[in-house]
Structure 1
Amino acid sequence: MGKKVLIWVAAVVVSLGIMVYQRLTGPTYEKDYRITFGGENYTFELPRSHGGDTDCPVVIGLPEKFEGMIIYRRFPTDEPWDTLQLVRVGSQLSTSLPNQPPAGKLEYHLVLTAGGEHVPLGDEENVVIRFKGDVPAWAQVPHILLMVLTVIWSMAVIFLALGNMVQYRKHLGITIILLLLGGFIFGPVVQYHAFGQFWTGWPLGEDLTDNKVLLALVFFLLAWFLRNRKYGRWLAILASLVMLAIYLIPHSMNGSELDPETGEVVTGTMLLLFE
């Protein structure tokens, strides 16, 4: 009993670590800034994703001595830059980036001044924000929950199989069910609401997120059908390690992107041809 508890605790801890890593590295999460001015340190975030049909608010908490503007244009283009002046509301500077069609992107950067003096941000790279449709909670919440459980169960499979405990076979099956529900039922529904397409992985496209999920399923199914072979537990471990490796790839990389010239959504490694 104690060994099983330790296995599940380890599975949860490892899974949480993976999710924190994805939260810190994914290209759609807020970009963190830390600046120093006048001997004081300040931190704020700039958005890299926005859902729904509203403009994207940009809100920066900085003292009254700071002023600023947002310089932006559609991405990827060579269009002229537009400017949005940040407006002070109490202790915050704010403006809104204009809404784009689903999968449309803007690139932008912040220009800050204080007392007429330019404030360096320490990172001059433009921020790229991707817009998406409004995803209903009834699809988003189960998708996230099921994918979280998939990772936890797959990590448990590793520890159970390493301990040569036959229960790994049952939990291998549960992992496959969770993956099918989260990645192939609710996942496409989420993607449809966000970008207007159910599936953009192989063979219809080259979306990296879809293909990662497909690759994981292939390995798990292989491990399931060969689970009674002498090397069955090693296949289960391999499948779970593939899942681990997949989650170490930042989420939404090479995802859906609107081509500003054609108005079509392109996906995956095909994006590299346009950048």
Structure 2
Amino acid sequence: MRKVLLWLLAIIITLGSAVYQRMTGPTYPFRGKTVFLGQEIKYKLPRSAEATGNCQVVVNLPANLSGQVQGFLQFKRHKSDTPWNILAMKQEDNRLVGFLPKQPPAGKLEYLVHLVSGSQEISLTGEKPVIIRFKGRVAPGILIAHVIVMFLAMLLAVRSGLAALNKKEDPTRLTKWTAVLFFIGGFILGAIVQKMAFGVFWSGFPLGTDLTDTKTLVAMLAWIAALASGRRTQPKRGWVLAASIITLLIYLIPHSLFGSELKW
């Protein structure tokens, strides 16, 4: 019964960290709301797009503002001295629709969405532009496998830590499987995803600043150290617990933070 409860606790912690990573990462759509002409306007602006085509940006308007508001996209390449470009958005029923031009994989644009009605104008996000990164298309099978294996690695990492706290349970098997899954998910499947999306197999330390790759490396080293602490016996509980805590802290860092970025 205790083991069942520990597995349930591990699943809850893993799901919570996965949702947190997804919702706080820089590729998650930027959501917000503003007031224009006395009406509340909610928006969801993309921060990630495939490099196979232009990226659609949509703003839904209240029905009574239809036909009264014009929309404009103001954009330029991120971290560059290139001038700002402005494109008009089209009115489609109660929506304003515009397209950001596609960029090479890892290329970034920063953009603002302006609403105009007569002499009144507003930027949805104020003076702070939204940053969007383009990526190559990743085969769905590879991506799904990567996500599943990394989720299982995180689940076993948490469960290993709980086993280390339970003196009646041997964490050896869980620790070994955690290390194996991190290697497969991060260094095999993860490298393939990185190559398909951004053109390189690895862009973390020491080759680059991609924090996702670097986080994977740190987690892998932590679990190797945990295994090495018990080469002829079971891994030492303190090392397993430390590896579990390190992994959990790593997963609290938003996914894709300081990710691959094309230098203009």
**1:252 equivalenced with 2:256 (yes/no):** yes
Q: CA RMSD in A?
A: 1.8
Partner Cα separation in structure 2 for residue 109 and residue 179 of structure 1: 39
Correspondences of 1:139-154 after superposition (within 5 Å): 139-154=142-157
Q: 2:171 aligns to what SS in structure 1? A: helix
TM-superposition CA deviations, 1:144-163 (whole Å, max 9, x none): 11111111111111111112
TM-superposition CA deviations, 1:136-184 (whole Å, max 9, x none): 1121110111111111111111111112243422111111111111101
Partner Cα separation in structure 2 for residue 138 and residue 122 of structure 1: 36
Partner Cα separation in structure 2 for residue 23 and residue 141 of structure 1: 15
Letter in 2 for 1:94: V
**1:192 equivalenced with 2:195 (yes/no):** yes
Determine if contact 1:51/1:135 at 8 Å carries over to the other structure. Answer: no
Give the direction of change, closer, same or farther, for the CA distance of 1:230–1:138 in structure 2 (3 Å limit): closer
Q: Which residue number in structure 2 is paired with residue 156 of structure 1?
A: 159
Deviation at 1:117, TM superposition (A): 2.4
Larger displacement relative to structure 2 (161-170 or 3-12)? 161-170
Give the direction of change, closer, same or farther, for the CA distance of 1:123–1:232 in structure 2 (3 Å limit): farther
**1:105 equivalenced with 2:128 (yes/no):** no
Deviation at 1:87, TM superposition (A): 0.7
Q: Which residue number in structure 2 is paired with residue 269 of structure 1?
A: none
Partner Cα separation in structure 1 for residue 72 and residue 184 of structure 2: 44
Give the direction of change, closer, same or farther, for the CA distance of 1:241–1:30 in structure 2 (3 Å limit): same
Q: Which residue number in structure 1 is paired with residue 69 of structure 2?
A: 66
Deviation at 1:248, TM superposition (A): 1.1
Give the direction of change, closer, same or farther, for the CA distance of 1:3–1:38 in structure 2 (3 Å limit): farther
TM-superposition CA deviations, 1:3-48 (whole Å, max 9, x none): 1111111111111111121122111111111113455433211111
Partner Cα separation in structure 2 for residue 231 and residue 185 of structure 1: 25
**Percent identity of paired positions between Structure 1 and Structure 2:** 39
Letter in 2 for 1:25: T
Larger displacement relative to structure 2 (60-69 or 95-104)? 60-69
Q: 1:257 aligns to what SS in structure 2? A: coil
Deviation at 1:120, TM superposition (A): 5.4
Q: Which residue number in structure 1 is paired with residue 33 of structure 2?
A: 34
Normalising by structure 1, report the TM-score.
Answer: 0.88
Q: 2:77 aligns to what SS in structure 1? A: strand
**1:15 equivalenced with 2:19 (yes/no):** no
Letter in 1 for 2:162: F
Letter in 1 for 2:254: P
* Structure 1: runs of 5+ lacking an equivalent: 261-275
Q: Which residue number in structure 2 is paired with residue 267 of structure 1?
A: none
Correspondences of 1:144-223 after superposition (within 5 Å): 144-223=147-226
Partner Cα separation in structure 2 for residue 24 and residue 113 of structure 1: 30
Letter in 2 for 1:188: A
**1:237 equivalenced with 2:237 (yes/no):** no
Letter in 2 for 1:110: V
**1:94 equivalenced with 2:97 (yes/no):** yes
Partner Cα separation in structure 1 for residue 149 and residue 234 of structure 2: 30
Normalising by structure 2, report the TM-score.
Answer: 0.92
Residues paired across the two proteins, number:
259
